Amino acid sequence: THGVTQYESNLFYYYQSGAINESLSDIWGELYDQSNGLGNDTAGVKWLMGEDVSGLGAIRSMSNPPAYGDPDSLSSPNYYVGEEDNGGVHYNSGVNNKAAYLMVQGGSFGGKTVTALGVNKTLAIYYEAQTNLLVSGSDYADLYNLLYQACLNQVGNDGILMADCQEVRDATDAVKMDQQPANDPGYNPDTPLCSTYSPNMVFSDDLEAGSTNWIFDWRWSYDSPYDPLAHSGEHYLYADDYFASVSDTSATLKELSVPYNAYLHFSHTYNFESFYYNSKMYYFDGGVLEYSTNAGLTWNDAGWMMDSNGYKGVIYKDWVNPLKNRPAFVGNTKGYVSTRLNLAPLAGSNVKFRWRMGLDDTGAAWGWWLDDVKMYTCGPDTSFADVPNTHWAWQYIETLYSARITGGCRTSPLSYCPNNTVTRGQMAVFLLKGIHGSSYAPPLVGDSTGFNDVPVTHWAAAWVKQLAAEG
């Protein structure tokens, strides 16, 4: 059953992706065991793993994982947060094992009541997820969404109905599969592209088409010599922190033109050398993100623009790391996280970004994986066809338009003509409405405007006279 997992989803055997790997293999093995008519499948042993192994006996329970010290949900105190067992792959498999049990058998758990789907439907849903949806770096939050999608994909097959997909959702809700572990609340935090509105993509690289957008040196590579660990698809960049030697190594993205209202977002996971000693954590290796606005002649640290999942600590100051004493990505993320930068300070510039890893001359760890790099804008649909939300004046024009202080220059499509000349008469209207509100109207002009070139018959006569009167 591990062979099926390896050659289908190829889940990396590490933390949550490894726990899902272990659980899927448990599911195939146990449900085959229940269906082959061999051995003892009475109620007392039906959901045990290894119960028939001579001299060993059961090691896990899918129906009741806590009976063997394993978690049955992400809110369980049994959830393992350490680094042993590749991050607890044999322990934390209990979360998905319990969800699969609920789908097959039904029952009430975690505030949810699940109607049994039976073996065939459950297997069809999990197999769809494993063969077509999961990737090597998927975690429990991904599995939560992908099991539901797998059910939708299978509606009409194997007797699966739309109503069955609600049972899948209830089972995964029961085990809190979309939540952070209660005893490790900082685990794998993901950041949305936009807090509100939908993203408008300017640049996106999921690395599935190769590494042509990148220049990198010797410790960085396209994919890795180890088992794959991708956030999406199959490919990624990887920087190896394996053998000890002083290193300063970078992966540099091609130059991008940064629009107004732009963000940079990337998914990455890292495990850098660190050491806990005398009640303090020491970080010896780590990575930083830097940017250049002069084609790479000089570089600046980008940490100050990170508004979510930024640097986690400071690289030890008394060692030989080229990045020593700098805030950096350090320690262990335990799986993919996403980091976002607000690029407002760089708007209008051509910018290069580089992911830079610094290592010392002793110790080693896994290193740094990078995937799904995006630059985009966040904003609502624009009112004017010729003022996209990447325009430098977009937010000001939208504010004035929504306040009914200014309108468009033409319709079909509605346009603003942001580069057109503004007359002094138009400016008088604009300023007075800006001062007094969009419904303001000036007093009647009377016998004179006070200006030789503005007769009382001019369309803006009253506006010009009133603006002059107000100084």
**Sequential DSSP letters for 313-328:** EE--TTS--TTTTSEE
Domain of residue 400, residue span:
380-420
Which of 111, 142, 175 is where one domain is finished? 175
Instruction: Say if 183 falls within a structural domain.
Output: no
What's the mean pLDDT when you consider all of the chain?
91
Query: What CATH number did the domain enclosing 153 receive?
Result: 1.10.390.10
Is residue 362 scored above 90 in pLDDT?
no
* Residue 142 counted as domain residue: yes
Mean pLDDT over 436-463 rounds to: 89
In this prediction, residues 412-441 reach a mean pLDDT of 86
Is the same domain home to 219 and 100?
no
403 domain-assigned = yes
Can you tell me the mean pLDDT for 227-248? 91
- Nearest Cα to Cα of residue 384 among 373, 375, 374, 395: 395
Helix (H) or strand (E) holding 4: helix 2-7
pLDDT band (50, 70, 90) for residue 122:
very high
| Of the candidate ranges 248-257, 348-357, 457-466, the one whose mean pLDDT is the lowest | 457-466
Q: Is the pLDDT of residue 55 over 80?
A: no
- How does residue 417 score in pLDDT terms, banded at 50, 70 and 90? confident
Q: Do 361 and 216 fall into the same domain?
A: yes
Q: Where residue 285 sits, what CATH number does that domain have?
A: 2.60.120.260
pLDDT of residue 324: 95
pLDDT-derived band at 373, boundaries 50, 70, 90? very high
What are the CA-CA distances from residue 236 to residues 38, 207, 210, 415 (Å)?
44, 6, 9, 42
The predicted pLDDT at position 267 comes to 98
Per-residue confidence (pLDDT) for residue 356, from 0 to 100? 98
- Identify whether 193 is part of a domain: no
Are 147 and 288 in a shared domain? no
Considering the domain boundaries, does residue 187 fall inside one? no
What does the pLDDT average to over 10-39?
91
pLDDT in tens, 143-177: 999 999 999 999 999 999 999 999 999 999 999 99
Nearest alpha carbon to residue 184 among 366, 368, 13, 16: 16
Whether 359 shows a pLDDT value over 90: the answer reads yes
pLDDT-derived band at 39 (thresholds 50, 70, 90) equals confident
Q: Kindly tell me if the per-residue pLDDT of 398 is higher than 80.
A: no
Instruction: Give which of 189, 192, 239, 234 is closest to 214, Cα–Cα.
Output: 239
Give the pLDDT confidence of 310-329 residue by residue, as tens digits. Answer: 999 999 998 899 999 999 99
Q: Among 112, 140, 175, identify where a domain stops.
A: 175
d(CA 179, CA 60): 23
Weakest-pLDDT range from 42-46, 115-119, 431-435: 42-46
Q: How confident is the model at residue 410 (pLDDT cuts 50, 70, 90)?
A: confident
Lowest mean pLDDT among 212-226, 276-290, 413-427: 413-427
Our count of domains for the chain comes to 4
Q: Among the ranges 29-43, 46-60, 163-177, 181-195, which has the highest mean pLDDT value?
A: 163-177
Does residue 90 sit in the same domain as residue 145?
yes
Exposure of 296 by Cβ count < 10 A (0-12 exposed, 13-18 middle, 19+ buried)? middle
Q: Does residue 129 share a domain with residue 271? A: no
Residues 143 and 113 in one domain: yes
Q: Are residues 374 and 384 in the same domain?
A: no
Are residue 385 and residue 250 in the same domain, yes or no?
Answer: no
**Element of type H or E holding 165:** helix 162-174
| CA distance from start to end of the chain | 83
Structure tokens at 205: 């690289």
Asked if residue 419 has pLDDT above 90, the reply is: no
Would 192 be classed as within a structural domain?
no
Answer yes or no: do 98 and 226 share one domain: no
* Whether 224 and 129 share a structural domain: no
412 and 429: one domain?
Answer: no
Which tokens hold the place of 194?
């936009």
The answer to whether position 182 is within a domain reads no
Residue 288: inside a domain: yes
Highest mean pLDDT, choosing among 42-46, 62-66, 392-396, 400-404: 62-66
Q: What is the pLDDT of residue 381?
A: 64
Do 400 and 274 belong together in one domain? no
Check whether 87 has a pLDDT greater than 80: yes
SS3 content of the chain, % helix, strand, coil (to 5): 30, 20, 50
Who has greater pLDDT, 30 or 244? 30
Query: Is the Cβ–Cβ distance between 306 and 340 less than 8 Å?
Result: yes
